[in-house]
Amino acid sequence: MIGSAPAANYIGELKARQELHACNGCELDIGKKLGADLVLTAWVQKVSNLILNINIEIKRVGSGKTLLNKSVDIRGNTDQSWSRGISYMVRDMVEKKQGGVGWL
C-alpha cells in the first residue's frame, strides 16, 4: 500500500475541479506519480434516504485496464451498515479471487 501524501497537492488541485471517480483517467496519473501498480477509486451514491450504494474500481496504472468494478447496496446510513457493506465487499472479493491483486 502506498500513501497518497507525496501527491497530496496534485490530488487537491484535481478534487477542486471534478469528482475523482469521474476525472477521465486522472487516477492513473496520481498512481504514476506515486509509483503504484494499481489504483482503487471508490465513491458512494445515495439512492434514497435509506439506500446507499458503495462502488469501487481497480485499474492497472501502466495500461489503464480495469481489473474490477464492484458495488454493494447498504440499508441505512449508520457506522454498522457501512462496516457490514465494506466487510461483505472485501470478503466477496477474496472468496472470488477478484481484482487481480496478489494480496487478495
Each residue's pLDDT tens digit, 84-93: 999 999 899 8
89 located within any domain: yes
103 domain-assigned: no
Query: Quick count: other Cβ atoms within 10 Å of Cβ 65?
Result: 10
- 20: domain range? 5-96
Residue type, 4: S
Average pLDDT, the chain: 87
Asked if residue 6 has pLDDT above 60, the reply is yes
pLDDT digits (tens, 9 = 90+) for 50-86: 999 999 999 999 999 999 999 999 999 999 999 999 9
Residue 74 located in a structural domain:
yes
The answer to whether position 15 is within a domain reads: yes
The domain tally of the chain equals 1
Cα separation, 64 vs 104, whole angstroms:
20
- 62 lies in some domain: yes
Under DSSP, the state recorded for 18 is: S
- Determine the pLDDT at residue 61: 95
Long-range contacts of range 25-33, CB-CB < 8 Å, 24 or more positions apart?
Answer: 25/64, 27/59, 28/59, 28/61, 28/64, 30/4, 31/59, 31/61, 32/61, 33/6, 33/7
What integer pLDDT is reported at residue 97 of this predicted model? 84
Q: Is residue 101 part of a domain?
A: no
pLDDT above 90 covers a percentage of the chain that reads 52
Residue 82 lies in a domain: yes
**104 occurs within a structural domain:** no
Asked whether residue 104 carries a pLDDT value surpassing 50, the answer given is no
